[in-house]
Amino acid sequence: MKYLDEFNDPQLARRLLDDIRATVTRPWALMEVCGGQTHSIIRHGIDQLLPEEVELIHGPGCPVCVTPLECIDKALEIAARPDVIFCSFGDMLRVPGTDRDLFRVKGEGGDVRVVYSPLDALQLARRHPDKQVVFFAIGFETTAPANAMAVHQARRLGLANFTLLVSHVRVPPAVEAIMTAPACRVQGFLAAGHVCSVMGMAEYPELAERHRVPIVVTGFEPLDILEGIRRTVGQLERGEHRVENAYARAVRPDGNPAAIAMIEEVFEVTDRNWRGIGRIPASGWRLSEAYRDHDAEHRFDVTGIRTEEPAECRAGEVLQGLIKPTDCAAFGTTCTPRTPLGATMVSSEGACAAYYLYRRMSEPAPLREEMNPVG
């Protein structure tokens, strides 16, 4: 890739759309797994430009959105302690807990800091040996290597005052959970390219074969997404269910072996709750026994927290692909980015935030073909 514009070309987009239109003969429902893909789809109106037979279902691919409410409440309790410097990426500060968020804790005197890397938090631990420095380690497989490296370095440096509050989740078990849900309508997947750039594609062929669904590893620019859709629809029309790599410029079949080795050294697989979805077996990581001294949940003994989601928030159904954001009565009224009821309205990758940001306040009729497909 030389220039980003190469993957944002209206003429090439029209050719891909024409190819999809010429291929499709019946309705198909595809799920894009990643929230970054969702934002690109809504921003460029890709879902409205596709032939009416192709429906895109937004998946649970936003790590902020699926971080469980009880984990948010644990973060709030830890961050409010006077001996703690609590570090997080900025998109977590507005995510609502049961009765407040990290911004509120900061306003009440908690030492809550936005960092751009877990290694920034590690440096704070070195500079403030009298403080407990906690980094909020959330995300899919993409962010796991950096978080693993941070705690690996902390142990090597003997920084006993550095811990992670871990809420890592894994994509393949989520795909399994989606496909085995009674209300599942998904017939093909656009897999998240950045996840596969770390982990490779080894876990997907078994899923594709068992559930007889094509899985196409896809990037995030408009042409990436249209090419992923084109390949997925082509497989469905031919009755195939294979794993394809449509993001070869960033994804190798074996992923990043060094990153995988670091993850496997520091983390171990565990069951994990997903906000709005529930418990998915083997869908997360936690710190392994060798690194348990750097686990904030154990260090601060935050257990026994009871949580309850707002009754009017339907973010869980959005995350499962059962409804669109506009199907929720609270969307754009009582739930906005300034007054969010759920994480899907807060996160930079949340589906509700995408619909609100790009003024998709209702589900309009498809755009006319002559309109510029990627602006």
| Beta-sheet strands, E only, within 33-116 | 54-58, 84-88, 111-114
Distance from C-alpha of 66 to C-alpha of 137, rounded to nearest angstrom:
13
Higher-confidence residue of 95 and 238: namely: 238
pLDDT surpassing 90 at residue 2: no
Backbone φ and ψ of 301, nearest 5°: 50, 50
Q: What is the pLDDT of residues 253-285, one digit of tens each?
A: 999 999 999 999 999 999 999 987 889 999 999
Distance from C-alpha of 199 to C-alpha of 251, rounded to nearest angstrom:
9
Strand partners, 31: 57, 189
Q: At what angle do helices 222-238 and 10-23 cross, to 10 degrees?
A: 10
pLDDT at position 364 = 52
Q: What is the pLDDT of residues 24-69, one digit of tens each?
A: 999 999 999 899 999 999 999 999 999 999 999 999 888 888 998 8
pTM above threshold 0.95:
no
Distance from C-alpha of 47 to C-alpha of 325, rounded to nearest angstrom:
14
Strand partners, 203: none
DSSP-based three-state secondary structure for 58? strand
Higher-confidence residue of 254 and 342: namely: 254
Q: Which residue has the tokens 């490779």?
A: 200
Two structure tokens written together for 122: 């590690």
Q: At what angle do helices 144-157 and 118-127 cross, to 10 degrees?
A: 20
Distance from C-alpha of 140 to C-alpha of 260, rounded to nearest angstrom:
13
Q: Which residue has the tokens 């807060």?
A: 346
Beta-carbon contacts of 32 under 8 Å, excluding residues fewer than 6 positions away, are 38, 41, 56, 57, 58, 59, 61, 189, 190, 218, 225
pLDDT surpassing 80 at residue 122: yes
Higher-confidence residue of 245 and 98: namely: 245
Higher-confidence residue of 309 and 336: namely: 336
Q: What angle do CA 8, 193, 322 make, to 5 degrees?
A: 95
Q: How many CB atoms within 10 Å of residue 5?
A: 8
What confidence category does residue 3 fall into, taking pLDDT thresholds of 50, 70 and 90? low
Q: What is the pLDDT of residues 150-205, one digit of tens each?
A: 999 999 999 999 999 999 999 999 999 999 999 899 999 999 999 999 999 999 99
Q: What is the pLDDT of residues 366-375, one digit of tens each?
A: 443 433 444 4
DSSP-based three-state secondary structure for 29? strand
Name the nearest CA neighbour of 291 among 267, 272, 269, 261: 267
Quickly count helices (H) and strands (E) in the chain: 16, 11
Given a contact cutoff of 8 angstroms between Cβ atoms, the answer to whether 104 and 77 are in contact is no
Q: How many CB atoms within 10 Å of residue 113?
A: 17
pLDDT surpassing 60 at residue 1: no
pLDDT at position 375 = 43
Given a contact cutoff of 8 angstroms between Cβ atoms, the answer to whether 30 and 189 are in contact is yes
pLDDT at position 304 = 67
Distance from C-alpha of 198 to C-alpha of 277, rounded to nearest angstrom:
25
Distance from C-alpha of 133 to C-alpha of 124, rounded to nearest angstrom:
7
pLDDT at position 309 = 73
Two structure tokens written together for 257: 């072996």
Two structure tokens written together for 72: 């948010």
| Beta-sheet strands, E only, within 193-266 | 215-218, 243-245
